[in-house]
Structure 1
Amino acid sequence: MSTVTDARRRFQLAVVAGSAVMLSLAAVLSALADARAVWRPEVSGPVLPDWSSAVASAREIEIVGDEGFTLVETDGVWRMPSRDGYPVRPERLAALDAYLASLVFEGARTDNPQRLGRLGLAEPGDVDGGTLIEVRDDAGDIRAELILGEVRDPLVYVRRPGRSRAYAALSGDGAARALDLLPADSWLDLDFLALGTSDIARVDIQPETGPAYRLERAASSSRNFSLRRPAGWQSITAAAGNGPAATLGRVRFRDVRAADRLGGEFVAHHTAETFTGLRVRIDVKALGETRWALITATPLTDDAQAEAAAVNATANGWAYLMSDLTIDRLIRPLDRIADPGEVSTDAP
């Protein structure tokens, strides 16, 4: 009986010892897994070491974040296909080039996919997602790609697409700078029309409803525009016409499309003339609830020829989407700024 009992005890001790070994092994493996997740290998040098050659061969740049769009180089000009090939602002491309060329590694960070969102490096389009930049050559081959995450001065967090390892980086000046790649319209020159409020001498407006009218002032130093046409109407206040008259002093459009593909119909127009002799006409086209501007510039003097040519070089062939605020000012009905005179019922 004693021999059986001793054997049972030895067996139980062996089981307990084995369990302890297994638990210890599990703890070690768990610790190793955690250590791997926070292990930060040494890393240094440029984030995109081959960036200069990638830029030289670049023919297409895709940017994906909350929205996605593509830039394509054609005959030396970068354009946005989703906007019917409207040219991209060169200074934006220069800023992107300088920024990515300057990025250098500061160090590695987590490679746990569950933690990438904390650094703004989740998949582009997801919550806490990063912004993907992908550069391709004329054969469609990827020459450079990177996901940009959060900027926490002086660092910006980055990772390679398809990989979970995150890195911290610095730009060339020793700190991270936020590079706003979105929205898509930030890549387009949509605020090129700026006549200068003090330079506008007169405007002629044909609203969608009601009579056409003219606002005018004698000099750039004059504070208010006066209502010159039609006869018999009186401005509600001395400054009532300033809003419509000064609309083209500076305007930012919301979007752009090729004019010959827009459709719709013309419903109003606004023509402004400057003291230097530049005339700019906006023909307003209605497409559903939206209103689009087709722009034509005409020089009335020799001094205005260069300005007119610059406006036409940008605007010719394009239609520009206007905001509700711009439309409200640009073609405001006359009865919102003036009252009609009394109509006499006496016989002549």
Structure 2
Amino acid sequence: MGRKSLIMLGLLAAGLGGAYFIQQERSRPQPQQTSVSRELLLPDLQGKLAAVTALDVRRPEQPDLRLERRGDVWVLPAKADYPAAGQSVASLLRALSEARKVEAKTANPALHGRVGLADKGNPDEQGTRITLLRGSDAPLELLVGRSAQQGSGQLVRLYGDNQVWLIDQLLPMPATELNWQDRRIVEVPFTSIRQVEVAYPNGTRLTVYRDSAEEPNLKPRQMPKGRRLAHEAAANGMATLFSALEFADNAPLAQVKFKGKPLLEFSLSTFGGGELRGQVYGQGEQPWLVLKDKRKLGDEQVPGKLDWAYRLEPFQYQALAKKLEDVLAAK
């Protein structure tokens, strides 16, 4: 047998052996992959959110913020127990209870500032300190730092522990005391509003209305003969304002000393028989709204309080403070 034939036989044998090995490997049962269970960041919190009675938030260079549970409602004691934005509190507590450790990062205190988890020093390097009070149980405390540079998650460390952890949750927190509050004043759907009227101290008034909910636009009751609206929806803004009216600031009515007459008085009527009345005052060159009375409108439609004053943004006031000529086409 020649040399060439021997080489060919060798290659053939090697190929058959390789094929046999592959076939045997495929026929073997494959080992099951084991899932790695990530450790909860706050195991004492899971299933026990109802035990949290208060929440402290301390941000660098901002006043300390406390929220307290009063029955089913969270309030801000520093704002005369004004209701907090329940969804914001619930989202944070839920994220804390579900957060799991993904990866251990630095445990060197000298490096904490780089990830926004320093105890002190430059405000940009400090973490936001969260304290959960749980009645007679020990409080839970942690520092919240920067978001993960890649993927999702956030860097945190338990207060008093140098170990930094990447967790699998983003911890949503409003940036200011204002945004921790339930800022809603009025939430009456535009489709349910039948009429809005504004009256001014000089006796002039503007009433915009529609006869049925099927009509898409409101029209002035004081429409002069031969005139028309600037456009079909020109009067709608006076009503759409009340579909999602939020305050820019607030204060107990007893603490606010309004001088003189209001800039305007307003009333709102719905097709369901709901009525809302209020006034807007000028204070420090800013418009402040006061609710005077509501009928057949629940707290979900009018979350605002009758004993509080609410500062509006200028554009909100301008949407309401219309005069007849503002909604009519030019002559």
* Shorter-chain TM band: 0.7 to 0.9
Q: TM-score, normalised on structure 1?
A: 0.69
Distance of 2:99 and 2:43 partners within structure 1: 9
2:130–2:142 CA contact under 8 A, matched in 1: yes
CA drift of 1:326 comes to 0.9
Matched, 1:144 2:153: no
> What is the aligned counterpart of 1:45 among 30, 39, 42?
39
The match for 1:37 is none
Distance change (3 Å), C-alpha of 1:53 and 1:193: same
Deviates more, 1:114-123 or 1:188-197: 114-123
Q: Between Structure 1 and Structure 2, which shows a larger proportion of helix residues? A: 1
Give CA-to-partner distance per residue, 1:255-289, whole Å, 9 cap, x none. 33222222224332221111221111221132212
| Secondary structure class of the residue paired with 2:123 | coil
Q: TM-score, normalised on structure 2?
A: 0.72
1:258–1:318 CA contact under 8 A, matched in 2: yes
2:186–2:303 CA contact under 8 A, matched in 1: no
Q: How does 1:330-341 map to 2 (within 5 A)?
A: 330-338=320-328
Distance of 1:71 and 1:310 partners within structure 2: 21
The match for 1:213 is 206
Give CA-to-partner distance per residue, 1:63-116, whole Å, 9 cap, x none. 122534111344664310232210223333332222212222233211334433
Distance of 2:187 and 2:72 partners within structure 1: 27
Paired letter, 1:159: R
Give CA-to-partner distance per residue, 1:268-324, whole Å, 9 cap, x none. 22211112211112211322122222224544xxxxx3x346556752322222112
Identical columns (%): 21
1:270–1:331 CA contact under 8 A, matched in 2: no
1:206–1:331 CA contact under 8 A, matched in 2: no
Alignment length, in residue pairs? 287
Distance change (3 Å), C-alpha of 1:233 and 1:126: farther
Deviates more, 1:83-92 or 1:72-81: 72-81
CA drift of 1:327 comes to 0.9
Distance of 1:69 and 1:278 partners within structure 2: 37
> What is the aligned counterpart of 2:191 among 187, 198, 215?
198
Distance change (3 Å), C-alpha of 1:228 and 1:149: same
| CA RMSD, 1 decimal | 3.4
The match for 1:33 is none
Deviates more, 1:229-238 or 1:85-94: 229-238
Name structure 2 gaps, 5 residues minimum: 1-37
The match for 2:21 is none
The match for 1:182 is 175
The match for 2:94 is 98
The match for 1:155 is 153
The match for 1:133 is 130
